[in-house]
Structure 1
Amino acid sequence: MKILHTSDWHVGKVLKGRSRAEEHKAVLAGVIEVARREAPDLIIIAGDLYDTAAPTPEATRLVTRALTALRRTGADVVAIGGNHDNGAALDALRPWAEAAGITLRGSVREDPNEHVIDGTTNGGEQWRLAALPFLSQRYAVRAVEMYELTAAEANQTYADHLGRIVARLTESFAEPDRVHLVTAHLTVVGATTGGGERDAHTVLGYAVPATVFPGTAHYVALGHLHRAQRVDGGCPIRYSGSPLAVDFGEQENVPSVTVVEVTATTAAQVREVPIPAAASLRTVRGTLAQLAEVEVPDAWLRVFVREQPRAGLREEVQELLPRALEIRIDPELVPAPGSGTRVAQRAGRSPRELFGDYLDDRGHADDDVRGLFDELFEEVEH
């Protein structure tokens, strides 16, 4: 059978105040085109369909239309909720999804059979998919209790909980003559973050070892980390990555989807298919003269300016590079706080004097900045 694995669409993402709706339309159109060309038997979306738990109507429309279009390619479609998604809201769409022939699992249900999905390809290959949406630490404990595993797990680690849940969902994977698959939205120890994930859900006890997945699985389709990569383990484990870079920390990623070919008796053959539709993200550095020579017309830019701070500098950079979304003084030119020779004494000093000391300490010698502070302070006072 052939599988198309994608994840982390983050539809509704706003980058430094700039909507990326048109880019998302182009990116999802690219994913749909790959599905039409590759003709997979199964399409897995491994979480984070949305960027926020309260998506706009436009974002909801885009996601539901994309899922419908993917289903119309003839493939079975399974999507799970990620940490950015509202699991309950996704589950509320299940009647629509089922009518459209789409399997949607937003959050963990009491019946574990809800998360074990069976299918048969047009060629007669049988498959079984264990689908595990994102679980917070609190709900991991609750899920373990619902599945009536062991009674002493309240004080176990997140990885222990996830291991027991995955074991429960995959306990039938020893049966022969069937392709066994897992999809989940989580962090596996040893994997590399893409730069734009939510830190609280990738560290601080949220990482699990690859050993939670059974060696009898033919392929594990993961979401959550935005860089496409293979993870070492007892079975083929892979992140498809995000099909677009969601922020500047991901500018080196190659947006793609993953295509997998596998049978019950042969190993998974995996390849990445690039999705180049979104604008690239680039970081540029230099003086104004150097920035004037930069030519990246289709990229969103993060700019580190190698000039001393002064009033109006941002506007000058913006005029040179209209697609600059983030403009900062190059960190190498900014003295560390407190590195100045003079320490400001607060007692008996005016706000203007204290602000002046701050500017001196940070190497800001522009009198226009002091003048702007005076104007703002006067407005606040009066």
Structure 2
Amino acid sequence: MRILHTSDWHIGRTFHGHSTLDALRGVLEALTAQVREERVDVVIVAGDVFDSATPAAACYTLLSDTLLALADAGAQVIVTSGNHDSAARLGFQAALLRGGIRVLTDPAAIAAPVTVDDAYGPVHFYGIPFLEPALLRHVWPGVRAQRDVLAHAMDLVRDDLARRGGRSVAIAHCFAAGVEATPQLERDIQQGGLDVVPISAFDGVDYAALGHIHGRQTLAENVRYAGAPVHYSFGEGDKPRGSWLVELNAEGLSRVEWLALPVPRRLVTLRGPLENLLTDAAHLAAEDAWVCAVYTDTLPERDPLRRLQERFPHCAMVSHAPADARVDDGRTYVQRVRAARSDAELVDMFLQHVREGEGASEREAEILRNVLDERVRVEVLT
């Protein structure tokens, strides 16, 4: 059996204010072509199908079009809900979907797998939707965190599998121990402490298809994250996009292969003085990419985003990080002001404070001396 493991489509997510729907549609069309070319039997979408619990109508259209295209390509499709999805909204039309497309969002049905047969017999797919401990404590006594609810869910899976026999695949959406997260991106499930699920929780199945982490990761040969199909932040820019092609033989897991997906527009982070970013020929290749520009001038520049977009039309983010960062001497601004021995030093202290360490230039110091001297002359005359 050939299984395609994908996750974290996040339909409806924006990229620094720009819609990603068209880009995602193109990538999912490429994924559908891979399903047809590789003769995939089952496609798994491991949660975070939508980016919001209340997706716009266009998001539902893209999902419906893609699910139908995957089914037409010859695959059965199994979808679970993630922490960004509304399980109720994603699952409400599950009974109305055509045969071969299953949407699993009910924790009470974890031990009722979707079974798909191949030449070697049945393969049981256990869909574990995102499990919120606070909502399950009255149903599963004793659960307090993600590791508890996943452990309970997998116990249900193992108990059912012991009765049925055969090969098995678990689908879950969580932080598993050992993952490398993208800062400020994979939100809403905390990493650390009790919210991290140990890899051992997934013992007993032939393959665990995980979602939630946006970069591909292999925690064990049979426990993997596929990541998101498109880049949703500059922090992901160096992470490949694709999905895992998983093969099961008569004994269980036999082979796993990475299938790369096209990147609609590259993500590039440029760093240097603003004038260098605006003129250096070394940055020519970035002119058609999404650009995050970090300019290192000592002082903030006027309207840097507009100026950068004249060269890089897809510059989406600009930040100022002076190369000569201020060294903190431990004194507060008030303490520095009180230590000033003259009006000139007082003004210089203020400039250092607002300019992140840069005091008056030679020309500014000259103007400042002239102004202060003029003030003294006026005071003497009056």
TM-score range, shorter chain: 0.7 to 0.9
CA distance change for structure 1 residues 258 and 184 in 2, over 3 Å: closer, same or farther? same
Count of matched residue positions in the alignment of Structure 1 and Structure 2: 345
- Write the distance in 2 (CA, Å) between the matches of 1:199 and 1:127: 32
Q: Is 1:251 matched with 2:241? A: no
Q: 134, 158, 176: which is aligned to 1:170?
A: 158
Contact preservation (8 Å) 1:47, 1:224: yes
Equivalent position SS for 1:74 = coil
One-letter amino acid of the structure 2 residue matched with residue 105 of structure 1: L
CA distance change for structure 1 residues 361 and 281 in 2, over 3 Å: closer, same or farther? closer
Query: What whole-Å deviation, never above 9, does each CA across 1:286-333 have from its counterpart, x for those lacking one?
Result: 123431221223321110012231323332222222211001112544
- Write the distance in 1 (CA, Å) between the matches of 2:223 and 2:251: 17
- Write the distance in 2 (CA, Å) between the matches of 1:100 and 1:62: 19
What pairs with 1:192-203 in structure 2 (closer than 5 Å)?
192-195=180-183, 197-203=185-191
- Write the distance in 2 (CA, Å) between the matches of 1:92 and 1:364: 62
Identity %: 26
Q: 261, 265, 270: which is aligned to 2:247?
A: 261
What pairs with 1:1-382 in structure 2 (closer than 5 Å)?
1-97=1-97, 99-108=98-107, 110-113=108-111, 115-121=112-118, 123=119, 125-145=121-141, 153-154=142-143, 156-174=144-162, 178-195=166-183, 197-204=185-192, 205-215=194-204, 217-232=205-220, 236-291=222-277, 292=279, 293=281, 294=283, 295-308=285-298, 309-330=300-321, 332-335=323-326, 342-343=333-334, 358-361=353-356, 363=358
Query: What whole-Å deviation, never above 9, does each CA across 1:114-171 have from its counterpart, x for those lacking one?
Result: x4221223x46311011101112313434525xxxxxxx15x5431332122111231
Structure 2: gaps spanning 5 or more residues: 338-346, 362-382
The aligned residue for residue 373 of structure 1 is: none
1:334: how far off? Answer: 4.8
Contact preservation (8 Å) 2:288, 2:312: no
Q: TM-score, normalised by structure 2?
A: 0.81
Tell me which structure has the larger Cα radius of gyration: 2
Per mean C-alpha deviation after superposition, the further-off stretch among 330-339 and 3-12 is 330-339
Contact preservation (8 Å) 2:186, 2:213: no
Query: What whole-Å deviation, never above 9, does each CA across 1:196-237 have from its counterpart, x for those lacking one?
Result: 64344041532110111123x1111111111112113xx711
Q: Tell me the C-alpha RMSD between the 2 structures.
A: 2.8
Query: What whole-Å deviation, never above 9, does each CA across 1:34-58 have from its counterpart, x for those lacking one?
Result: 1111111111000111111111111
Q: TM-score, normalised by structure 1?
A: 0.81
- Write the distance in 1 (CA, Å) between the matches of 2:329 and 2:11: 42
1:101: how far off? Answer: 3.1
- Write the distance in 2 (CA, Å) between the matches of 1:365 and 1:144: 66
1:260: how far off? Answer: 0.6
Structure 1: gaps spanning 5 or more residues: 146-152, 346-352, 367-382
Equivalent position SS for 2:161 = coil
Contact preservation (8 Å) 2:47, 2:173: yes
